[in-house]
Structure 1
Amino acid sequence: MNETIVCTVGNVATQPVYRELASGPSARFRLAVTSRYWDREKSAWTDGHTNFFTVWANRQLATNAAASLSVGEPVIVQGRLKVRTEVRDGQSRTSADIDAVSIGHDLARGTSAFRRSGRPETGGAAAASSRPEPDWETPPADEAEADATQQEPEPVVVT
């Protein structure tokens, strides 16, 4: 109930590793998050410290992340922060993991083409998903003008 939810913006540092487990699909990758600040002496933006997080995704999010993400791409990750400390060879190591709820490309730094993934077919949902999706696209300006000029004008009635 009391969980630490974080939203991080960074770059994919390692290629996502995808696994099919008994509990369902799972994927993980490393996320590099570098702070930036304005250096008044240099009059330029400067990179600060880089934090690395291991991002874990499960189920459909894991499948989509593995198919969509590549090293170096800017992403936004939202999820539950898990900080772990373990002792290995007498040394204490601390790691920060994010159990992802949502992952997406950072559109402030580039473009992305979204493709809806297929959903597993189930009884009642199959009929609802077979309906065609409406055409939401706006025609280009020249096509809209051509359509408007091809329509027959309404007759003018003078009384």
Structure 2
Amino acid sequence: MNETVVCVVGNVATRPVYRELPNGPSARFRLAVTARYWDRDRNVWTDGHTNFFTVWANRQLAVNVAASVEVGQPLVVQGRLKVRTEVRDGQQQAWASADIDAVTIGHDLTRGTAAFRRAAKPETPGRAETRPEPRPEPQWETPPPVDPEAQPDAERVLVT
């Protein structure tokens, strides 16, 4: 209920790791998010600090990530932020990790183009196909204006 939902824009830093688990497919990868700011003194854009997030995707999102995401690509990721801390053996300081349990992931189209392909829906065993018949596409285009001078004389109507 009181979750921290974030939307981050960054570059894929590691190859997605895909696994089939007992509770469904899972994929994870690291996302590098670098702040950029305008340096007035030098009159140029400058890179700031880079944060790294481990992005987790599950079920159909994991399948689509494995098929679509590669190292270096710019992504937009929205999901729940989870920060974990733990002390590892032989270390004095706690180790911290920032994870995002992704709800949606997409390519950043301000930096390139993408070709979308709808994923096939998995068949549910034992369930009959109950898909409705597709309806014809409506005519959204506006018809061209009718030029009364271009009509034949027989069809012309005089209004007086």
Q: What corresponds to 1:3 in structure 2?
A: 3
Q: Amino acid of the residue matched to residue 69 of structure 1?
A: V
C-alpha separation between the residues in 2 aligned to 1:135 and 1:104?
27
Aligned pairs, number:
148
Change (3 A) 1:14 1:43: same
Structure 1 length-normalised TM? 0.81
Identical counterparts, % of pairs: 68
What's the counterpart of residue 99 of structure 1? 101
Structure 2 distance, partners of 1:104, 1:16, is: 14
- How far apart are 1:132 and its partner, in Å? 4.9
Deviation string, structure 1 residues 34-66 (Cα, Å, up to 9, x no partner): 000000111000000000000000000000011
- Does residue 16 (structure 1) correspond to residue 11 (structure 2)? The answer is no
Deviations 1:129-152 (A, max 9, x none): 7x458669x99xxxx99xxxxxxx
Question: Is the partner of 1:128 in helix, strand or coil?
Answer: coil
Question: TM-score, length-normalised on structure 2?
Answer: 0.81
Q: For residues 19 and 107 of structure 1, do their structure 2 counterparts lie closer, same or farther at Cα, with a shift above 3 Å needed?
A: same
What is the root-mean-square deviation of aligned Cα atoms in Å? 2.7
**Higher alpha-carbon Rg:** 2
Q: CA deviation at 1:121?
A: 2.5
Instruction: Could you tell me which runs of 5 or more consecutive residues in structure 1 were left unpaired when the two chains were aligned.
Output: 146-152
Q: Distance in 1 between matches of 2:39 and 2:135?
A: 50
Q: Which residue of 1 aligns with 2:147?
A: none
Distance 1:68 1:134 in 2: 31
- Counterpart of 1:128 in structure 2: which amino acid? R
2:83 counterpart residue number: 83
1:71-150 → structure 2 map (5 Å cutoff): 71-91=71-91, 92-122=94-124, 123=127, 126-128=129-131, 131-132=133-134
